[in-house]
Amino acid sequence: MKKRTKIILLIVVCVIVAFVVFAYIQVMNPFNIGIDPLRTQSVQSDTGKRLEITFSYSKQRIIASSQYAFWIEDMEGNYIDTIYVTQWTAQGGFSYRPFSIPQWVSVANPSSMSQSEIDAISGATPHSGDYKIIWDFTDRNGNALTGTQYRYFIEGTMNNEDNVLFSGVIDIGTEKWEETPTPTFSIPNSEYKNMLTNVRVSFFPG
């Protein structure tokens, strides 16, 4: 009887320890405990002619949330390239949740992409923190672009149909410039507005 009691107590202790560890991760990660302050979510070089987008990301602890995409179009609205997209949506999640970054899905048409192309532009949903995205003015096939103007888009799904969109024009010249795009929310009074913040777009002529 004593042996059985000890086994039960051991199981209870293990469950409590597992719960405490899980709770610690859930609570501390949003506050960036143990996370580097700035990480780059692209493999492009941070030298030469480029567009850099820096932002703060706060992972939402709810279902159907925390998806985002960064992409480029020409001035006529033709899709050029995706700089980065969260993996769950790109890998087929859009077919399960049609509200997940719907504008990117409509423009980029991930169902037509090869697995290698999806792997090149996507990554796992990250921890909360500060990030940098870099675009080197090439299209989806790696060809250098020669235009003088393009448009950038940043779309985030914060919770189901609750989305945010940033956009702006990229003027290619000989001088560096920076801007802070204004977000547009599908639900103006959204309680999840903190998912993508501190968005800053910078052009470097190289």
Q: Are 68 and 102 spatial neighbours (Cβ–Cβ below 8 Å)?
A: no
Distance between CA atoms of residues 177 and 170, nearest Å: 10
Rounded CA separation 173/137 (Å):
13
CB-based contacts of 69: which residues, under 8 Å, 6+ apart? 82, 84, 85, 86, 89, 101, 104, 108, 153, 154, 155, 156
Give the pair of three-digit tokens for residue 120.
Answer: 């090149």
Q: Give yes or no for residue 192 having a pLDDT over 60.
A: yes
Cβ–Cβ < 8 Å for 194, 58:
yes
Architecture of domain 37-204: Sandwich (2.60)
CA distance linking residue 170 with residue 201, whole number of Å: 9
pLDDT tens by residue, 146-175: 999 999 999 999 999 999 999 999 999 999
- Given pLDDT bands bounded at 50, 70 and 90, which one contains residue 46? confident
Place of tokens 């423009």: 107
The Cα–Cα gap between 134 and 50 comes to 7
Q: Are strands 162-171 and 184-185 parallel, antiparallel or unpaired?
A: antiparallel
Residue 113 confidence (pLDDT) above 90: yes
**13's tokens:** 């202790």
Report in angstroms the alpha-carbon separations of 190 from 158, 159, 186, 193: 9, 9, 8, 6
Domain boundaries, the chain: 1-31, 37-204
Whether the pLDDT of residue 22 is over 90: the answer is no
Burial 12-39 (b: 16+ CB within 10 A, else e): eeeeeeeeeeeeeeeeebeeeeeeeeee
By percentage, how much of the chain surpasses pLDDT 70? 78
Which pLDDT band, with edges at 50, 70 and 90, does 125 fall under? confident
